[in-house]
Amino acid sequence: MRILVINPNTTRSMTDKAAEAARIVAGVGTEIIAATSQIGPASIEGHYDGALAVPGLLAEIRAGEQAGAQAAVIACFDDTGLDAARALAGIPVLGLCESALVTAGFLAQRFTVVTTLERSRVLLENLSRHYGFGGRVKVRAADIPVLELEDEASGALGKLRRQIELALDEDGAEAIVLGCAGMADLAFALQEEYGVPVIDGVSAAVKQAEALIAQRLTTSKRGSYAAPLAKVYSGAMAGFAP
């Protein structure tokens, strides 16, 4: 199997981290192809960055599918561009948030997502509700700018651990979901430390991608994700015309 893992921001070190997480969990015979968006923001923090990351993401999806990828993972916890990517692609597309919540849902009745910035908290609450986890999930922001996760000296890990401890003490969390692709390398050590499942979205999404490929399933083209209709696209978006 060939699975495309796209970092929808332009920071290569985050791509590398996601690719490594993906390769650790990938099955025998699965090839992970990592791609970094060439156009858009260096990190995705809130609705504005998220929206402007989508064209770069869609370009990578299209290129990756043409190059033979059998499934794609959007390596951002906001699931930015997920619906558009599903409409575009003939291959299945997975988001980190949906994959991680679903995975946590098999292991625990109540769990807490720990994300980076306050501006993403309600966004993820709404996304959790959209995916049907409204009554089961609490979201906490650790006040960590995304790119601080790339800097070991930033103190980010301490802030993250503080929120995990609050989740266990105050939320009744039975499991923890790491709410940013940039935390992918931390899941296993935190799971060992706290003795509850700690779910990383990149790992979860890669396994879902493999699962769909093995079942010969792909996105339905009936209804919501019907292929884009042919039409004129103008200006900087001209190249995206279906």
Query: Considering only residues 110-129, where is the footprint of a second copy by CB under 8 A?
Result: 110, 118-119, 121-123, 126, 129
Q: Which residue has the tokens 């109540």?
A: 110
Minimal distance, residue 61 CB to a second copy, in Å: 11
The nearer residue to a second copy, 157 or 197, going by C-beta atoms, is: 197
Binding residues among 45-84 for a second copy as defined by CB under 8 A = 45-52, 54-56, 58, 81, 83-84
How far, in Å, CA of 159 to CA of 215, rounded?
40
Residue 151's CB is within 10 A of a number of other CB atoms, namely: 11
What DSSP character marks residue 109?
S
Binding residues among 183-202 for a second copy as defined by CB under 8 A = 188, 191, 195-197, 199-200
How far, in Å, CA of 15 to CA of 37, rounded?
9
The nearer residue to a second copy, 157 or 211, going by C-beta atoms, is: 211
Nearest to 128 by CA among 172, 89, 179: 179
The nearer residue to a second copy, 153 or 195, going by C-beta atoms, is: 195
Interaction of residue 149 with a second copy, rule CB under 8 A:
no
Expressed in angstroms, the distance from the first to the final Cα of the chain is: 27
Interaction of residue 134 with a second copy, rule CB under 8 A:
yes
The contact pattern for a second copy, residues 12-51, with x = CB under 8 A and - = no contact, is: -------------xxxxx-------xxxxxxx-xxxxxxx
Burial class of residue 211 in the structure, from the number of CB atoms within 10 Å of its CB (0-12 exposed, 13-18 middle, 19+ buried):
middle
Structure-token pair, residue 227: 């292929």
Binding residues among 203-232 for a second copy as defined by CB under 8 A = 203-204, 207-208, 210-212, 214-220, 222-226, 228-229, 231-232
